[in-house]
Amino acid sequence: MKKLVILLAVLVAATPVMAQWGNLQAISIKHWKVSKDFTLAVAAMMPEDGYDFKPNPEEMVFGQLMFHIASSNAGSCGMVIGKKLPIQKPEKFDKATVTKILTESFDFCLSAQESMTDQQADALTGPEGRQSTGVERLWSAFTHTAHHRGQAEVYLRVKGLKPPQYRF
């Protein structure tokens, strides 16, 4: 009887942890959709000839920057659910190619979040010393996208273009 009580106590204590993803899933998906729309709006704002532009020699060209967001998103979301999105580095970082890859990466991440289990949300992934839970990895990818999207907005401003307005 004592073992049963202990087991029940452990299960009750673990329930809030195991339910974390379920509570966050809708919020995460909502904000990833906003991030997708806003990132694609930033990408669309840059004219075709601006995809080869970089404001200084140390930066990536705009097309590479957008591809970097896409490949990072795909890698992070794929790591969480144990699947890969076969993204290949394009020979040319033109607007149509990069926008297609960027869209696919966001769709993959949204699909990953919709199918992600509580176990995947809590599981540690990544190399030794840099492991994160699935939820942490999604948060990291989300902030990584925001960081580089902000960088892309500066590229637009340097070209004399006003970035799209962010909508929450």
C-alpha R_g of the chain? 19
Predicted local distance difference test score (pLDDT) of residue 2: 53
Sign of CA dihedral 78, 79, 82, 84: positive
Distance, CA of 81 to CA of 92 (rounded, Å): 30
pLDDT in tens, 19-64: 468 788 999 999 999 999 999 999 999 999 999 999 999 999 999 9
- Token pair recorded at residue 16: 């809030």
Predicted local distance difference test score (pLDDT) of residue 99: 98
All structural domains of the chain, each given as residue ranges with its CATH number in brackets, are 2-158 (1.20.120.450)
DSSP states along 86-154: -----SS--HHHHHHHHHHHHHHHHHHHHH--HHHHHSEESSTTS-EEHHHHHHHHHHHHHHHHHHHHH
Q: What is the mean pLDDT of the chain?
A: 89
Q: What is the residue whose two structure tokens read 């492991």?
A: 131
pTM score of the predicted model: 0.86
- For residue 15, the surrounding DSSP H or E stretch is helix 2-18
Q: What is the mean pLDDT of residues 79-97?
A: 94
Q: What is the mean pLDDT of residues 10-24?
A: 56
Residue pair 85/105 in contact by the 8 Å Cβ criterion? yes
Q: Is 164 a residue whose pLDDT tops 50?
A: yes
Predicted local distance difference test score (pLDDT) of residue 1: 52
Smallest CA-to-CA distance from 166 within 73, 66, 58, 38 is with 38
Q: Among the listed ranges 14-23, 62-71, 112-121, 156-165, which one has the minimum average pLDDT value? A: 14-23
Q: Is 7 a residue whose pLDDT tops 50?
A: no
